[in-house]
Amino acid sequence: MGVIHPDITKAQTLPSNFYHDEEIYRQLITKFHTEWSFIGMESTISNGTVLPVLIGDIPMLMTKENGIIRCVSNVCTHRGMILCDEQQQTSTITCPYHGRTFSLCGKMKQMPKFDQVDNFPSESDNLPHANVVNWHGLIFASLDLEASFEDYFSAIEDRMSFVDFEKLDRQEKMAREHEISANWMLYVDNYLEGFHIPYVHKGLNSVIDYKNYETEIFAGAVLQVGYAVNGEECFDIPQWHQDSGKSIAAYYWWIFPNLMLNFYPWGLSINVVIPQGVNSTKVIYHGLVSDSKKFGKGAGGDLDTVEYEDQWIVESCQKGMRSVLYNRGRYSPTMERGVHHFHRLLTD
């Protein structure tokens, strides 16, 4: 594994093989298992719903029963069959291979032709489960049952405390899924710096004050703050808040390893980065609007255009990472602090 110097002025970026080596990919993907993964929204799951989700590369099921949302393994405890490959409304989870059934909380209920099996069923016949937290309607899960969500999200909770999450309304028309021919880390790298904005995002650059673009580092997160140019849409921030009086157009939060929460005056857009292999990534987008009169204005105005511009960049970089003439580069101490932090979290 590579080593990233803690001093950004001395550090080199990740070696290029991190982006195309299968073994390194497998090692890094295990970091997802004990982190908090965003798995869905409360508004999209009703009682009796079983929904396939992933924690890293581990197939899981998000379920809801009697108002309680859970996350259990999507692998049958009999012979390892995937239990469910699409959203269902049901009262039980039934394995399509040999008929073993489970309750929505993961407890094994019934298994044909097992009457004579000694010491059956046991605890190991139930579906393993993850820790689940509902944060303002966003559902997170971790396989580390001792993980503290408060520690994980405290910086975001504190900084975004002025947002009225109750007003956020999910917009189905804003939902997107994109397949990108690039390693998932390149997508994160690109997100974590505003360095490229004037060169890649001409429209976005026209509505934010690039010279005052800020990056803040937290234990497991990075915040980028985009300021509005004169006359562009910005947040109405209360006087008690640390950002009171500032013309902020966007708060761009990245939370390790693969979640982006983009707060705009009109609401929230979410990017979930799903590794699909060493050279392939799926990005799932959600949009939640709190003020429709502001929607489509300012830094959060033309999200589709910005996204396509970013995809072109990361796919081109993926090709470049395979060149024998490139190994690793250096960081801009002012503009790539977020990328440096991400690389250190990956390699520490």
Written as one string, the DSSP assignment of 272-292 is EEEEEETTEEEEEEEEEES-T
Residue with tokens 């298994």: 111
Distance between CA 132 and CA 143 in Å, rounded? 9
CA of 288: how far to CAs of 123, 137, 164, 168, 267, in Å?
Answer: 40, 11, 12, 5, 6
Residue 74 sits at φ, ψ, to 5 deg, of -100, 25
Task: Write down the CATH number for the domain with range 161-347.
Answer: 3.90.380.10
**Assigned superfamily of 37-146:** Rieske [2Fe-2S] iron-sulphur domain (2.102.10.10)
| pLDDT at residue 279, as a whole number | 96
Distance set, CA 65 to CA 5, 29, 50, 346 (Å): 48, 30, 9, 36
What is the spatial distance between Cα 210 and Cα 228, in angstroms, rounded to a whole number?
A: 9
Other CB atoms closer than 10 Å to residue 286's CB: what's the count? 21
pTM of the model: 0.94
> pLDDT value at position 2?
65
List per-residue pLDDT tens for the chain, 348 residues long.
568 999 999 999 999 999 999 999 999 999 899 999 999 999 999 999 999 999 999 999 999 999 999 999 999 999 999 999 999 999 999 999 999 999 999 999 999 999 999 999 999 999 999 999 999 999 999 999 999 999 999 999 999 999 999 999 999 999 999 999 999 999 999 999 999 999 999 999 899 999 999 999 999 999 999 999 988 999 999 999 999 999 999 999 999 999 999 999 999 999 999 999 999 999 999 999 999 999 988 888 889 899 899 999 999 999 999 999 999 999 999 999 999 999 999 998
pLDDT at residue number 58: 96
Q: CATH 2.102.10.10 region(s) of the chain? A: 37-146
Whether the CB-CB separation of 31 and 55 falls below 8 Å is answered with no
306-324 pLDDT, tens digit each:
989 999 999 999 999 999 9
Q: Which two tokens stand for residue 288?
A: 């939640």
Range(s) within the chain of domains with CATH label 3.90.380.10: 161-347
What are the Cα distances from residue 257, in Å, to 31, 83, 184, 244?
Answer: 8, 27, 10, 30
